[in-house]
Amino acid sequence: MDVAAATMRRAARGLTTSWSVDAPSEAELDAVWRGARSALRASAVRDGRYLRSRFAATGGAEDGRYAFCTARGGMRLAGVAVVRRPSASSDPRLRNVRVATLSDIVFPPDRTDVGLALLGCAAQAARAVGADAILCSTSHPALARLLVRQAYVPLPGNVHVLLHDRTGTRWPQDLGAWWLARGDGEADEVF
């Protein structure tokens, strides 16, 4: 499956990827968000301020639990994914399988090369921290297609969204129109 997934990532050859517990700059993350949000019908804001405040190391006891995977075209940040390392102890139902979580991912949905590069980098980061598997919950068809191309096994979904909108905006009722991630609402802390 690794060979097949790597073959699918050939389109991403012009991009360089790396991962680190250090977050990209707020300005770089803002630029990625601006490039992605125009193609999304509905999503929580995933700008630099949010991503850094939610996932970046702050010097606390839980530092190092997230890795930032980046895909760059030259010096420009093209996309970012955030991987949560597996918990120190596995859920007993998983029989010691250590599960990393793809907590968030931001890239323009039409840039499959960037999405594939980020998924490859996320797999490297998860493997480096001792994960046996990666969990990714998503509602957007563009990301779901890329996950299947990377040999992720689709499981029946349980993504639930509660939106209380006081502005009167008519938000899409179709869950597939939303760009949601496992890290929304801190649901990435399960494993």
- Most distant pair of Cα atoms in the chain: their distance: 49
pLDDT digits (tens, 9 = 90+) for 132-181: 989 888 878 899 899 988 888 877 666 666 666 777 777 777 777 887 77
CATH number for 81:
3.40.630.30
Rounded to two decimals, the pTM is 0.84
CB 71 within 8 A of CB 114: yes
Per-residue model confidence as pLDDT tens digits over 81-131: 999 998 876 667 777 788 899 999 999 999 999 999 999 999 999 999 999
Domain that holds residue 72: 2-189
**Whether pLDDT at 190 is above 70:** no
pLDDT at 113 (0 to 100): 94
Number of domains in the chain: 1
Residue 53 neighbours by CB distance under 10 Å? 11
